[in-house]
């Protein structure tokens, strides 16, 4: 069973539908006990870093997420959910993340040339940086769907893919059993479904 974390800021319907298309058993939950029972965990998210981090703490779900990740359970953060995996986010102030991957999240306006539209919305190609089991069914240059104004920085040791939007931006990361996608695999067609399938298959299980 894959648990999708419901803490009030995720695009839960699209994710659940994508896993249903793969035939995967999923539950959408805000129950810490269910997170502990699950084989794998998805942390989605849309919105602002500080608000989402505050909701995770208020719900008490930050502790089981850290505990289960430390125990070796596969955890995938998507979009804002990926950003929350890092130490710190600088969106409307400075906010603590989960600290599962070293690095920080900063405005892409600090990196891209003036005049580019922000948020970055649309399909962009992936350039691989390091091998990851999540890209088992992905070919370098495949396009995925992004919607973001912030991106991870200071995390070069963990970047598995990047994308070009006036500058090279972090697109995906991995640290042991903890993974992150800045893009939305659930909105990225067959390429995204391949990434979710690969996540299902971590540890030798299948969808």
Distance CA 136, CA 165 (A): 24
Catalytic residues: 79, 184, 186
Distance CA 108, CA 124 (A): 15
Torsion, Cα of 84, 89, 93, 94 (10° steps) = 100
Distance CA 94, CA 5 (A): 24
Distance CA 185, CA 168 (A): 19
Angle CA(120)–CA(121)–CA(126) in degrees, nearest 5?
80
């Amino acid at each position: 069973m894959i648990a999708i974390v419901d803490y009030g800021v995720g695009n839960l319907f699209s994710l659940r539908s994508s896993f249903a298309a793969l035939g995967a058993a999923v539950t959408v939950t805000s129950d810490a006990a269910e997170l502990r029972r699950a084989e794998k965990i998805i942390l989605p998210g849309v919105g602002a870093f500080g608000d989402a981090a505050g909701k995770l703490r208020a719900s008490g779900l930050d502790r089981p997420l850290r505990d289960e990740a430390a125990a070796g359970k596969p955890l995938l953060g998507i979009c804002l959910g990926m950003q929350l995996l890092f130490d710190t986010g600088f969106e409307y102030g400075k906010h603590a993340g989960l600290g599962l991957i070293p690095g920080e999240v900063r405005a892409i306006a600090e990196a891209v040339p003036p005049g580019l539209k922000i948020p970055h919305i649309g399909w962009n190609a992936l350039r691989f940086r390091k091998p990851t089991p999540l890209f088992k069914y992905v070919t370098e240059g495949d396009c995925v769907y992004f919607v973001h104004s912030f991106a991870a920085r200071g995390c070069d040791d963990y970047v598995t893919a990047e994308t070009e939007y006036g500058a090279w931006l972090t697109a995906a990361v991995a640290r042991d059993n903890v993974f992150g996608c800045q893009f939305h695999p659930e909105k990225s067609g067959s390429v995204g479904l391949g990434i979710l399938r690969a996540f299902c298959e971590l540890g030798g299980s299948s969808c």
